[in-house]
């Protein structure tokens, strides 16, 4: 009788332990599950072809005001005379990436050596002026998927895009049109890698940026940088 009681007590104790382990495990698993569920859609704002004086700085003002970080794919030759703008991009915590030294397709894509020389020249410019070593690369003109491994061997992460604001495709598009194109092309994408341009002709892009940021914020997205 006593033995039976003892066995039963051990069995009950074991069941309690199992229940504790079960719910304990569930509790500990619940935290990451919730944070996973709360993991918002990611938006990468990427700006190509800068720096420029007015447009890049206007974009930086907006990013600073909205507390949003972005990635700038820089053309090395356009840095000269705008060194402070390049330094500002880095100082305000944005990512600087390589987008060629010249943006002249004929020279950049003349061969593998030419492509690598061009990337190295742009990287050297960024590093000399802003004091950071770029680790991301975007092909001028996009495409060139077959060349990806070449750049990756040099240590770059190669970045394309899956949404556009249309500032290069549509000449003189209004800020409203750019905003709508960004919203439309980003639909159902996660992450969103949005292509924008901060070169001199793109005042409308800078004008559209606050609304673009407001849209993604309202959708609960988080802004990321490469």
Residues that bind Zn ion (CB under 5 A): 48-49, 140
Whole-number minimum distance, CB 24 to Zn ion, in Å?
A: 54
Whole-number minimum distance, CB 178 to Zn ion, in Å?
A: 16
For 13, 31, 84, 176, 208, the CA distances from 17, given in Å and listed in that order, are: 6, 21, 64, 62, 59
Closer residue to Zn ion in complex, CB, 98/175: 98
Dist. CA 78–CA 34, nearest whole Å = 45
Closer residue to Zn ion in complex, CB, 100/180: 100
Closer residue to Zn ion in complex, CB, 60/97: 97
Closer residue to Zn ion in complex, CB, 58/99: 99
Closer residue to Zn ion in complex, CB, 182/221: 182
Whole-number minimum distance, CB 46 to Zn ion, in Å?
A: 11
Whole-number minimum distance, CB 168 to Zn ion, in Å?
A: 8
Dist. CA 23–CA 42, nearest whole Å = 32
Give which of 176, 174, 175, 178 is closest to 164, Cα–Cα. 178
Whole-number minimum distance, CB 23 to Zn ion, in Å?
A: 55
Give which of 212, 162, 203, 224 is closest to 54, Cα–Cα. 203
Tokens of 9: 């007590």
User: Quick count: other Cβ atoms within 10 Å of Cβ 150?
Assistant: 17
């Amino acid at each position: 009788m006593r033995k039976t009681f003892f066995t039963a007590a051990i069995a009950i104790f074991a069941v309690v332990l199992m229940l504790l382990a079960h719910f304990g495990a569930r509790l500990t698993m619940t935290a990451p599950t919730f944070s996973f569920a709360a993991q918002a859609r990611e938006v990468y704002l990427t700006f190509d072809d800068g720096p420029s004086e007015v447009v890049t700085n206007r974009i930086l003002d907006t990013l600073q005001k909205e507390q949003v970080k972005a990635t700038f794919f820089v053309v090395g030759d356009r840095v000269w005379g705008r060194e402070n703008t390049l330094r500002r991009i880095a100082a305000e915590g944005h990512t600087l990436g390589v987008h060629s030294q010249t943006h002249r397709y004929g020279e950049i894509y003349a061969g593998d050596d030419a492509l690598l020389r061009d990337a190295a020249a742009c990287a050297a410019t960024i590093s000399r002026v802003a004091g950071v070593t770029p680790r991301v690369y975007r092909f001028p003109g996009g495409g060139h998927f077959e060349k990806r491994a070449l750049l990756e061997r040099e240590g770059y992460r190669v970045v394309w895009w899956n949404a556009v604001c249309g500032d290069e495709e549509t000449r003189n598009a209004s800020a409203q049109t750019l905003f709508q194109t960004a919203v439309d092309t980003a639909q159902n994408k996660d992450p969103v890698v949005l292509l924008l341009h901060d070169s001199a002709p793109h005042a409308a892009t800078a004008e559209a940026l606050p609304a673009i940021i407001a849209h993604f914020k309202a959708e609960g997205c988080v802004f990321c940088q490469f």
